Amino acid sequence: MTKDDYLKFCELWASANKMFNREVDKEICTLAYKALQEFELKEITVAMSRVLKRSKFAPTIADIVSEIEVMYGNDKASLEIKANEFYNAINRDFSMAKDYVCEDPRAVYAFKIAFGSLQEFGSHSVSADAFDRKAFIQAYVNAKETSYALDREKHLLKGIYHYGERVPVRFIGNVEKCKLLARKALPNKQIMLPDLQTNKPKQIGLRVEKIESTEPMDREKFLEVLGGFLSMFGAKY
Per domain, the residue ranges of the chain are 3-71, 76-192
Q: In what order do the strands lie in the sheet with 99-102?
A: 156-157, 99-102, 166-172, 190-192
**Mean per-residue pLDDT pooled into runs of 10, the chain (237 residues):** 94 94 93 95 95 93 93 90 96 92 97 96 93 97 93 96 94 95 93 61 33 51 54 46
Length in residues, the chain = 237
Backbone angles phi, psi at 99, to 5 degrees: -85, 140
Return the pLDDT at 26: 92
Q: Name residues whose C-beta falls within 8 Å of residue 115's C-beta, 6 or more positions apart in sequence.
A: 121, 124, 132, 135, 136
Return the pLDDT at 225: 53
Return the pLDDT at 228: 54
Task: Give 2-52 pLDDT, tens digit per residue.
Answer: 999 999 999 999 999 999 999 999 999 999 999 999 999 999 999 999 999
Q: Which residues of 41-63 are buried (b: 16+ CB within 10 A; e: fewer)?
A: bebbeebbebbeeeeeebbeeeb
pTM for the structure as a whole: 0.66
Compute the C-alpha angle 14/44/71, nearest 5°.
Answer: 145
